[in-house]
Structure 1
Amino acid sequence: MDVIVIETPQLGDRSYLVHDGQEGLVIDAQRDIDRIEEAAGRAEVGIALVAETHIHNDYLTGGLALAQKHGTPYLVNAADEVSFERTPISDGHTIRVGRLTVKAVATPGHTHHHLSYVVTHGDDEAVFSGGSVLYGSVGRTDLLGEEHAEHLTRDQWNSARRLGDEASERAALYPTHGFGSFCSSGPATGADESTLGEQFSTNHVYTDSDQLHFVRELLANLTAYPNYYVHMQPTNAAGPSEPDLEIPDPLTAQELTARLDAGEWVVDLRHRVAYAADHLHGTVSFEYGDGGSFTTFLGWVFPYGSQLTLVGSRDGVEKAIRDLSRIGIDSPDAALGEDPRGLAPSAQISSYPRVDWPSLLADRPEGEAILDVRRIEEFQTSHIDGAVNIPLHELLVRLDEVPPGRLWVHCGSGYRAGVGASLLEREGRDVVHIDGNFDDAAGAGLPMVG
């Protein structure tokens, strides 16, 4: 048995292609299925079966499109309500894929009808645990509503033990979430691989023998998750199509200017340093990178259903289109180029100061507000004395709580502060972007609380 990992670091997830050298099983496919097809082509194996561990909340699946394209069965729990044809599977069902044996094991907790798959081939054994047992943690249990969270957390504790009964300690463990995904209930270990047996001694779902204590601790430590999640589950249940990843015909200068004048969402993909120095007034700064910040935070604050226009290099726009398709933001328009004046010569050009921590301490006049756009739990752990906390994902709905006057905006690394500063400038506020690692603030002399 060979397991090919298809990483999606932008969302903190993994998909898997499991094969015996000829026939392959795909588990938890991301929506951009061409990456899986390329992996199968390189391995010279056919895609014989596609399976989901659960109806996902943090991304749109490519499972249905992949199965239809290759004429293969599509395994989805028989208990899940979906609007498409699938091959229903339930706890204990076993299927052959070439020389692989695939057994479905009910592991509710992350969702009500979550399945894990135990795959064997001779002496090889692997567990594909989806959002059940992760590396050092488990999938969060509150995504279906707070009214279900306690019951699902009990289920999660029981399901971990069920997996321990169904597979051996030597079984390799392959979760879908836990690599930065907000679907994790807590910080994962950062491990790249593990076994079920290793988790028995390191994962709190196993080391905490008191179920009630586990439930209380997990629920008490759940934090905010992106609000685009609300769109993922119903779309996955309806069956997403394969995305169109082509770059659209670029907007003309007149079309781009009209969109800015109309107050539409126009996102500048350049580095936040370049943006602060020189940008089209009315744009928003979402620096594109291959990590998770761009997709997660744009999806978190973008009003779904609105028209989106991306501004940046051809390469950046192309990558952004792919990333955004995974969370259901389809068919953005684009203006290609990195010179604001060349893209829209008649549009207003803006800039704002970008400073470091020592400059904040030395140059901020008394009385001007420090705005911390980190999440609440980050702020509670440690913050600058006197700072006002409004998390980035709440900023647009809490504008009336933003202090008057010039604002010195910071976060944990500078990324979210760049987004926040651009959103506030778009609303007519005077801003200074503090572009620095929060861990360096105390060393620069800033008075800290916590």
Structure 2
Amino acid sequence: MGLRDDLERFREVGEERREDLKEFISYGDLGASGSKDIKIPIKVVDLPEFKYDRLDMGGVGQGKGGTPDVGQPLGQPQPGDGDGEDGEPGEEGAEHEYYEMDPEQFAEALDEELGLELEPKGKEVVEEVEGDFTDITRSGPHSTLDFERLFKEGLKRKLAMDFDEEFVREAMKVEGTTAREVFEWCREQNILVSMAWIEDEWGRIPDDERGAWASFEEMEENVERTTATQRIRREGLREIPFRREDERYRHPEVIEKKQSNVVVVNIRDVSGSMRETKRELVERTFTPLDWYLTGKYDHAEFVYIAHDAEAWEVERDEFFGIRSGGGTRISSAYELAKEVLDERYPWREWNRYVFAAGDSENSSNDTKERVVPLMQEIDANLHAYVETQPGGTAINATHAEEVERSLGEQGNVVVAYVSEPDDVIDAIYTILSTEATAE
């Protein structure tokens, strides 16, 4: 293997740049990324290169400035001769940088990784886009006048109205005829000439030329009639009869495009039982879902609701860090979610996702009596509940099971269980694959 092959191999290793996507989601530093830029750690690989001493520094065998002569013993290696400060190889950690992705790239990568086929649904909100200048109107700026169309209309009129004037003048020389008889003969011959023109030309025929033909039939046999095309080729086109009613103005076509808008309502239990490990599992599940849906839809907005026994709306920066000492009433979050969605995100205009997470602990009968009916009332592409219970489900953690039992057959409701980071990818797949197959 030559140096060029080595170089190509190093490049190949460098292009397998990012950390495995599943490993990044389950164990990586999600906090280093923002909502629009996802930073996945990569290892920096230094490519091999030659390094030359400067010419004035001498070389082996030069024998001056303390440099040993050829064959002179060099002595034992001294401390600090190695790459590291203490001479021990391999103790320095590798340098890390980041491979940056936008949400659209992330969504494509996750689709490929998990085999997903989620297609965003366009809603009733339409966006007017200016297309090609294909629409025609009767008025508009002079710069948009469709002159080609105007010329064609004028030319068609010219060809339709044009007649062989010399041929008609010869008809006026028929013996014993009158101007009215010539006009009627022209109509029979489909010659579009006006009576006014015939009367005007009638007086211009010299007296000595009248009676040149005994009949119209004799004149037709002896006088060649030319077509409009022949006359245009012979004489050229001197004028076109343009008319105002022929004017048309070009306008850009208005294309109605359904825009796929999405709003994601993220709900998190912040009660005293939601300790740090549980909070981290929620963040590892919700953050990639946010990135994915941002990349899939034309326009994405997010609502973050925290709750214990009561619910309140928070900013994303606060959402994953809040912890209270209160009890739990999950229905309070769904009540607030319904209020927010009804006021700000109508179902006819927005795709809606409602994602909730907690340890499945809830106040007595709240799930059955309030949460389940509220989930049925809230129109959404998908309702998801993520149970985070490290070490297994607690005895009183029954919310997820009740939701699954009551709404599992509804088609747009899914429950996922996350007890450790390795479960996160499976939970994300369960949620997104349910949306992809939902009607």
The answer to which structure has the higher helix fraction is 2
Whether the TM-score (by the shorter chain) exceeds 0.5 is no
Tell me the TM-score normalized by structure 2.
Answer: 0.23
The answer to which structure has the higher strand fraction is 1
More contact order relative to length (CA 8 Å, sep ≥ 6):
2
Larger radius of gyration: 2
